[in-house]
Amino acid sequence: MTKKKLQRFAENTTFPHFFERSYAELTDKPFEHKGTWSRSFFGNDNPLVLEVGCGKGEYTVGLANRFPNKNFIGIDIKGARMWRGAKTIANDGIKNAAFVRSQAGLIDLWFAKNEVSEIWFTFPDPQPGARENKRLTSPRYLKIFTKVLKPDGIIHLKTDSDLLYEYTANMAKTERQRIIHQIDNVYNGQISGPLTEIQTFYEQMWLKEGKTIKYISFHLNPSYYEQG
């Protein structure tokens, strides 16, 4: 591990808005903010929104700046990347954002049933080939997310991948999710606001390469997964 990574890991531990626990710790006793994040950590009763696979946290920070009436938590396993977002929160004094270092599959150890209002995925790995059960919008993961999302909670996907976009749209229709928006090109001039104004590092890179950015959002249907 490089010296820079070690320094970032060390600094992460000094941020009051950065959380990391081992699996043993999470299963030994409930995480202290589980079920009460908005009230016990953020000090309000505002809706809780997650960005799963947040990378450097650009979207988490961007959304927090634009929506002060919501609380945002970025989740990723890459602590050195998340340092950038955590550092920005500290430097800018952002009060409605935090970061959790964790695998996506352990989300129900950090959050309680019906605690989360929305989940964002921004440019996740499309997992080509035979790895579709590793996609964050696969039934495997959506079943996990139903454990923490409120009834009729919202899933957002922003991606450059035709494969992941089409897979998610087909899955949403097959599994009776109620699609809110399905946009083949968010930069076609018909949309304004955070969806085009907030850009991750990878999004900027894909745009320079001429790739088309797509977006889909839908209400997650928990009853479908409860049957499985």
Give the separation between CA 160 and CA 151, rounded to whole angstroms.
Answer: 29
Cα–Cα separations (whole angstroms), residue 186 to 193, 195, 211, 215: 11, 7, 11, 7
- Beta carbons of 81 and 56 less than 8 angstroms apart: yes
User: Any idea what DSSP says for residue 213?
Assistant: P
- Residues that are catalytic: 125
Give the separation between CA 76 and CA 144, rounded to whole angstroms.
Answer: 16
Q: Please tell me whether residue 165 adopts helix, strand or coil conformation.
A: helix
**Which runs of E-coded beta strand occur in 16-103?**
18-20, 48-52, 71-76, 97-101
As beta bridge partners, residue 75 has: 52, 100
User: Any idea what DSSP says for residue 122?
Assistant: E
Interhelix angle for 79-92 vs 3-12, to 10°? 50
User: Any idea what DSSP says for residue 212?
Assistant: P
Structure tokens at 115: 């605690």
